[in-house]
Structure 1
Amino acid sequence: MDFSIASIWAHTGLFARCIIFTLGIMSIASLVVMAERMLVFRKTRADSRNFAAKMGAILAKGDLNTAANTNLGKDVGHLGRVINAGLTAYRISPNNKDVAVESVARALERQAQREVQSMKRGLGLLATVGSTAPFVGLLGTTMGIVTAFQLMATSGSGGLGTISAGIAEALITTAFGLLVAIPAVMAYNFLQGWVDARAVDISESSNEFLDVVARHLGGGAHSSHAA
């Protein structure tokens, strides 16, 4: 038997081909998630940086009233959506410092959780592919070995030559399973690390914004914020 990919595929049984097709679908799905998440992350980081540059100049002056009434558009990234939630809560909060600060803090936390959850979308699929693809390939390997020994029993002769085709068919599914799983695991770890880093950025920015709100209210400037 010629042990080329084409020859092995020609001798592959129906069950092994189903396993390979399943792994192929898993691979395509993981690649789509990788590409989509990379594009989304790249855009939201760029939008967040632009928002931080523009809004940071306003907040650096402590002018929350101007910041609350400034519209920087919809493309503000994850950071912009969190800070805008805080500004909205500030704008509608009562003229009580403790209540206002608590209201802003809750708004920031709620939006931060939404943003982190949104960024994690699709990562569960990568984790599933990375953890299950080797076992799917192993299932094909197990059935291939069973088939190989059945052929040996049917032929009534032993030796490696009798079962070599079945073993080759079996091992190709394991190899394919690993080829699908390894990129998925690497992509999951990279993207999860990126999400964790952005979660830290959001937390730091939220705390800095909350400090600005507390100082602003402490100075008695909140009484005119709804004007």
Structure 2
Amino acid sequence: MQLSISDMIFHAGPVGQFVMLTLLVFSLVSWTIVFMKARLYKKVRLDTEDFLETFWHSANLNEAHEAAAEFEYSPSASVFTSGFAELQKINKMRSRNEEGKVVETLDTHLATMDNLKRAIRKAENQQINDLGSSLSFLATTGSATPFIGLFGTVWGIMVSFHDIGQRGSASLAVVAPGISEALVATAAGLAVAIPAVIFYNYFSNKLDDIESEMNTFSTDFLNLIERDLLSRV
């Protein structure tokens, strides 16, 4: 008889079919996440490259802020927007002297930098959480599906031995079909788990690169603001 995986699944018992259906759901969701993340991270890379080039060629922060709205997929642009918004809030709250001029002191500059750093760190964490969402499902798939498939195999072997007992024969012709059907579940579990593990590691490395690039920009941005504030003291 020719080996047919579909026939084995179709003739499997209710538990075996449920296991295969569960693995199918895990597989479909995992591949959906893979394609979505691949498309998203590509846009993130392109938008970030364009934003950084625009930022460093801008005449001032206001010009850079106007351009940042065009790069919606860039985490660095989002961090800059959050930092710029915090700077505007701080400028509105600065104390002024009798002539209406802003009072520039070292304490006010230190407070400004503290607030700005907190706003930027919050924006960075939000970006990483958004970009890393759903990756945990790939990790769960990679660790759980081999055991789900193994459960289906163990159950199938139990059923096969039960059938052997009822038929009173342990010949290869009696044992082989049931055992082969049971082993399909393990193969299916590995087929689902292996791509999930590979792409989880791949996207995790991509996310680390994005985070590193974002942190580098944040540091440069903070240094730029700090130098400007210190020059006013």
Fold shared by both chains (TM-score > 0.5): yes
Out of 123, 127, 130, the residue aligned to residue 135 of structure 2 is: 123
Residues 164 and 65 of structure 1: is their aligned pair in 2 closer, same or farther, counting only changes over 3 Å? closer
In the TM superposition, what whole-angstrom CA distance separates every residue of 1:117-155 from its partner, at most 9, and x where no partner exists? Answer: 001111011111111110110010000000110010001
The CA distance in 2 between the partners of 1:84 and 1:8, in whole Å, is 57
Query: Partner of 2:33 in structure 1?
Result: 33
Per the alignment, residue 80 of structure 1 pairs with 77
Residues 34-81 of structure 1, C-alpha deviation per residue, up to 9 Å, x if partnerless?
1111111111221121111111112xx6x446545x343253411100
> Is residue 9–residue 16 contact of structure 2 (8 Å, CA) maintained in 1?
no
Structure 1 residues 123-162: aligned runs within 5 Å? 123-162=135-174
Structural mapping, 1:1-227, within 5 Å: 2-58=2-58, 63-64=60-61, 66-67=63-64, 70-76=66-72, 77-93=74-90, 94=94, 96-220=108-232
Gaps (5+ residues) in structure 2? 95-103
Partner of 2:100: none
Q: CA deviation at 1:159?
A: 2.9
Q: TM-score, normalised by structure 1?
A: 0.89
2: distance between equivalents of 1:214 and 1:165? 73
Segments of structure 1 that go 5 or more residues without pairing to the other structure are 222-227
Letter in 1 for 2:205: G
Post-superposition offset of 1:3: 2.8
- 3-state SS of the aligned residue for 1:164? helix
Question: TM-score, normalised to structure 2's length?
Answer: 0.87
User: What whole-Å deviation, never above 9, does each CA across 1:143-178 have from its counterpart, x for those lacking one?
Assistant: 000011001000111233221111001100100010
Give the aligned residue type for 2:71. Answer: D
Name the SS of the counterpart of 1:12 in structure 2.
coil
Would you say the 8 A contact 1:30–1:126 is kept in 2?
A: yes
**Conserved? CA contact 2:86–2:119, under 8 Å:** yes
Distance 2:128 2:4 in 1: 46
Give the partner amino acid of 2:43: K
User: How many matched pairs?
Assistant: 217
AA matched with 1:126: L
Q: Distance in 1 between matches of 2:152 and 2:84?
A: 56
Alignment root-mean-square deviation, CA: 1.8
1:11 and 1:165 in contact (8 A); partners too: no
Tell me by how many angstroms 1:8 deviates.
2.3
